[in-house]
Chains A and B, each alone.
Chain A
Amino acid sequence: MATLDAIGRGTIDTFAYVGGLARLAGRAAYYVFVAPFKGRPLRIERAFHQGMAVGVEALPIVSLITFFVGLILALNGAYELRKFGALQFVASAVAISMTRELGPLMTAIVVIGRSGSAFAAEIGTMKVTEEIDALETMALHPIQFLVTPKFLAMLFMMPCLTIWADFMGICGGLIFGITSADFTVAGYFQATLDALYKRDIFTGLIKSVMFGITITAVGCYEGFSTGAGAEEVGRSTTSAVVMSIFLVIIVDVIFTALFYFTGA
């Protein structure tokens, strides 16, 4: 009976959590896409600052990580391909893996660590110091004021970062290609372009947008769920990172399956 009770409670809590995320993302989407037509202008300046923090400042670490991931992919791919004398397919293996999966996923993981946690910490601290309450008493909606710029920045920056991550991953593969697989630089890029279809890139970009929405929703939701005290800020930050990684993987599974079964 206790097990059933625990399962029931767990199920209800999970639905409540996902419902909370959906409500928050829905409200943010309203303030981005609908409210500007009802006299509530977008906070472009704040979104720009967020975009710099989320996107531009993440470029070095995203570049470094995806470059090495591309190199690792090439090394692991070559291990199997050389058995069949098919080392020339390293370029296509890296290109497809990066654009469809690892580019958006690795970008999301980095963004979770940098920005998802920062969203939770920022909003959580504001909750503890009554700044969220202060916004409300000034007739400023916290979601419009705090979440919308982050949401907008993520919607724009995640695909941009992902395109860059794809490129850096391919460059990682290129290092292996020219040192161990007899590729020239031009030949490697040509092999990459030959292997890629537009849909490979677009499916990755669609995933990146969904990951961005997930990271923003979880980070901000955890921030707003912060209780009293500095300890709670730490809890919500940790929770934001763990839940974001988990939910990004779930979203990834759903969209990868969707693309597979629809042939995209």
Chain B
Amino acid sequence: MSAAAQTTPAANDAMISIRDLRVSYGSREILHGISFDIRRDETMVILGGSGSGKSTLLRTLVGLEKASSGEIWIRGKNMASATAADKEELRKRLGMSFQGGALFGSMTVGENVALPLREHTQLDDDTIRIMVRLKLDQVGLSGFENYKPSQLSGGMKKRAAVARAIAMDPEILFFDEPSAGLDPVIAAGIDNLIVKLKRAFRMTIVVVTHEMASAFIIADRMVLVDKGHIVALGTPQELQTSTHPRVRQFMDRIAEPEVHKEMDYLQMLTDGNED
């Protein structure tokens, strides 16, 4: 629950182990030595305000940002020191659903979902067609194979992105702000989908969000990131009852003082570590 507890390795049931992770953009450090574990088959929600470093953390976990130091162990392999071939193999076992869907606009929904199957497997066209139908069915988009992403609503795009993310039956599924930009009803549908996927496929799921309502529905455990540090880690109930001032501010929606000066804003983001 406390910042100290976060460094305790979760024995050998950890799917992802992060150790003293530091990430910088230029000379500005965004993550200041983060350590925690994500257990096998759990849904870990990474919470944090805008500019807290939660998206940077997620991007680093999937290899889109390079850590300046520290270790990320995924399925027993250290991503930081893995060879390009190892990273490629590992990525085939990960799925990622982006905030805006990131579907390829020039392809149909079906082609989007089929892409990883065509690129990484030897399956024939008929089998791929069946698998695409199956994946779309699992996310509630049966019959939308031939639609272009531009013809879908925001919620449907996210579902299609999830279908593509689970196409290769990943062991770990990452979500970046799954409810962002959706109305509460559609967002609730996405929450249900995440819960359903977890139950059906026993995946390890990592979700970055700042939507507290969603987080409490889907999370097995939560980690609150603030200014590049972890301020709390625990079950939803533990965070709910936490007395940590930053956790309380987040849980009780207490407003930050407004920032008017650039340096104040940068200092708020980086906890005063700018050079």
Q: Residue of B at shortest CB range from A136?
A: B64
- Per-position binary interface string of chain B over residues 78-120, scored 1 when its CB falls under 8 Å from any chain A CB and 0 otherwise: 0000000000110110111011101111000000000110011
Question: What is the bound-complex CA distance between A147 and B145, given in angstroms?
Answer: 27
Q: A139-B91, A140-B119 are in contact. Are A134 and B63 (CB under 8 A)?
A: no
Residue A57 is within 8 A (CB to CB) of chain B in the complex: no
Asked if A13 lies at the interface with its beta carbon under 8 angstroms from chain B, I say: no
Give 1 or 0 for each of B22-47: 1 = CB within 8 Å of chain A CB.
00000000000000000000000000
Partner of B102, one of A134, A139, A140: A134
In Å, the complex CA distance between A6 and B96 comes to 43
Contact-residue bracket for chain B: 20 to 34
Closest residue of chain B to A130, judged by CB? B102
Nearest B residue to A133 via CB reads B64
A138 in contact with B119 (CB, 8 Å): yes
User: Please, which residue of chain B has its CB at the minimum distance from the CB of A132?
Assistant: B102
CB of B62 within 8 A of chain A? yes
Whether a CB of chain B sits under 8 angstroms from the CB of A14 is no
With a 10 A CB-CB cut-off, give which of B92, B94, B96, B102 has the most chain A CB atoms.
B102
Measured between alpha carbons, how far is A129 from B149 in the docked complex, in Å? 12
Q: Which residues of B contact A133 (CB under 8 A)?
A: 59, 64, 98, 102
Bound CA span A107–B231, Å: 60
Asked if A80 lies at the interface with its beta carbon under 8 angstroms from chain B, I say no
CB contacts under 8 Å to B, within A87-132, are 125-126, 129-131
A179 at the interface (CB under 8 A from B): no
Q: Give the shortest distance, in Å, between A218 (CB) and chain B (any CB).
A: 22
- Which DSSP category, helix, strand, loop or mixed, fits chain B's interface? mixed
Do B62 and A131 have beta carbons less than 8 Å apart?
A: no
Choice from B100, B105, B116, B174 contacting A138 with Cβ under 8 Å: B116
Cα of A193 to Cα of B98 in the assembled complex, Å: 60
B174 to A, closest residue via Cβ: A137
* Bound: A235/B268 CA distance, A: 31
Please tell me if the beta carbons of A131 and B64 are within 8 angstroms of each other in the complex.
no
A230 CB, nearest partner CB in chain B, Å: 13
Q: Which of B98, B100, B105, B120 contacts A139 (CB 8 A)?
A: B120
Contacts of B94 in A (CB 8 A): 137
How far, in Å, is B58 (CB) from chain A's closest CB?
A: 11
Q: Which residues of A contact B119 (CB under 8 A)?
A: 138-140
Q: Which of B63, B98, B115, B116 contacts A130 (CB 8 A)?
A: B98
**CA gap between A130 and B103 in the complex, in Å:** 9
What 1/0 mask marks residues of chain A from 136 to 151 whose CB sits below 8 Å from any chain B CB? 1111100000000000
CA A136 – CA B96 in complex, angstroms? 10
- In the complex, what distance in Å separates the CA atom of A133 from the CA atom of B59? 9
- Is A139 in contact with B92, judged by CB distance below 8 angstroms? yes
Q: Which residues in B have their C-beta under 8 angstroms from that of A139? A: 88-89, 91-92, 116, 119-120
12 contacts between A and B (CB under 8 A): A125-B105, A129-B102, A130-B98, A131-B105, A133-B64, A134-B104, A134-B164, A136-B63, A136-B64, A137-B63, A137-B174, A138-B116
